[in-house]
Amino acid sequence: MILEMKVPSPGESITEVEIATWLVEDGDYVEKDQPIAEVDSDKATLELPAEESGIITFKAEEGDAVAVGAKTGRISSKN
């Protein structure tokens, strides 16, 4: 199964965030709920957790500005 990771909404008026830091490497195995990235908005820095366990593939780079709801990567799991 492949899970597309999307940027969650950090607040009502925020439409875009910046990928501040990937906390894992592209191609790493990640565990469900493991922090995988930090994103910056106008108001806060948030950690994004893995929604599933599996191999992570990035679709955005550190420093990229991405819209809320945009795909930032995917996790390939065996489920």
Give residue-wise pLDDT tens across range 30-74.
Answer: 999 999 999 998 888 999 999 999 999 999 999 999 999 999 999
pLDDT at 11 over 70: yes
Domain boundaries, the chain: 2-76
Q: What is the pLDDT of residue 17?
A: 94
The region of weakest confidence among 12-16, 19-23, 61-65 is 12-16
pLDDT at 14: 87
Neighbours of 30 (CB within 10 A): 21
Residues 7/70, Cβ–Cβ less than 8 Å: yes
Q: How many CB atoms lie within 10 A of CB 22?
A: 19
Residue 12 has pLDDT above 80, yes or no: no
Angstrom distance (rounded) from CA 1 to CA 16: 28
Domain 2-76's class? mainly beta
- Reported in sequence order, the residue ranges of 1-79 that DSSP labels E, i.e. its strands, are 2-6, 16-22, 29-30, 35-40, 45-49, 54-58, 65-67, 71-76
DSSP state of 69: T
pLDDT band, residue 79 (cuts 50/70/90): low
